Amino acid sequence: MNIKVIAFDADDTLWVNEPYFRETEEKFCQLMEDYMPRNSMDKELFKTEIQNLSLYGYGIKGFTLSMIETALRVSEKTVNIDVIEQAIAFGKDLLSRPIELIDGIEAVLHALKDRYRLVVATKGDLLDQERKLRKSGLLPYFHHIEVMSDKQEADYQKLLRHLDVQSESFLMVGNSLKSDILPVLALGGHAIHIPFHTTWAHEQIEHHVEHPNFKQETIISDILQHLL
């Protein structure tokens, strides 16, 4: 691989994220048990989130608004105001969570920083992702931070132009096959998938990935064998 730029996804690649959302979903479903069983409530919330992606994008703020909207819809606007206040509090709690780095990530970044241009390529709420980067202590390792509204081929193409790098010299490292891996491979780039134990349903794919530029490893430190 003639790699010049390595991009890292942020959530669940640099730091833990998805388990906090699942924990909050569980609390929200418990809160709404008087209106609907938990497993059905979870499906209703997911449906609202997907419908709202084109309006709010990815991130905690859109998730919080989706909780409120779901509570109002499921209860036919009879939900107690305390439930709405609690949903807002759940969102604020997510925004104030401490950063829990993925094991080994800082050692990996330290080993690579003088050999490659390192960038963050993530999606979500700009303010929230910038906050997490600052609190993580990882910011000095990165040449560039790109917070995307989505991670489609066009979004990566824009990033490649900004970085002035050819796709064959670009490597993406991330936990989502759908967002981090497939679009980059489609552009002729390289990608390494590091699965995380919890993945949002919207990010899951059913088929197996076969591509000459694709690798999958178990933990983040495993990528060093391909790069050093």
pLDDT of residue 79: 95
Q: 26-58, pLDDT tens digit by residue?
A: 999 999 999 999 989 999 999 999 999 989 988
Residue 204: pLDDT over 80:
no
Residue appearing with tokens 């924990």: 23
Residue 191: pLDDT over 60:
yes
pLDDT of residue 174: 95
Return d(Cα 131, Cα 146) in angstroms, integer: 14
- The string of DSSP codes covering 156-172 is HHHHHHHHT--GGGEEE
Please enumerate in sequence order all residues whose Cβ is within 8 A of that of 219, keeping only pairs 6 or more positions apart, or say none.
103, 104, 194
Query: Among 189, 217, 193, which Cα is nearest to 205's?
Result: 193
Q: 75-134, pLDDT tens digit by residue?
A: 999 999 999 999 999 999 999 999 999 999 999 999 999 999 999 999 988 899 999 999
pLDDT of residue 203: 61
Q: 158-175, pLDDT tens digit by residue?
A: 999 999 999 999 999 999
Confidence tier at 197 by pLDDT (50, 70, 90): confident
Burial class of 8 by CB neighbour count within 10 A (0 to 12, 13 to 18, 19+): buried
Confidence tier at 200 by pLDDT (50, 70, 90): low
What mean pLDDT value characterizes the chain?
Answer: 93
Residue 141: pLDDT over 90:
yes
pTM: 0.91
Q: How long, in residues, is the chain?
A: 228
DSSP state of 119: E
Please enumerate in sequence order all residues whose Cβ is within 8 A of that of 178, keeping only pairs 6 or more positions apart, or say none.
202, 203, 204, 205
Q: Domains of the chain, with CATH numbers?
A: 5-16+100-226 (3.40.50.1000), 18-95 (1.10.150.240)
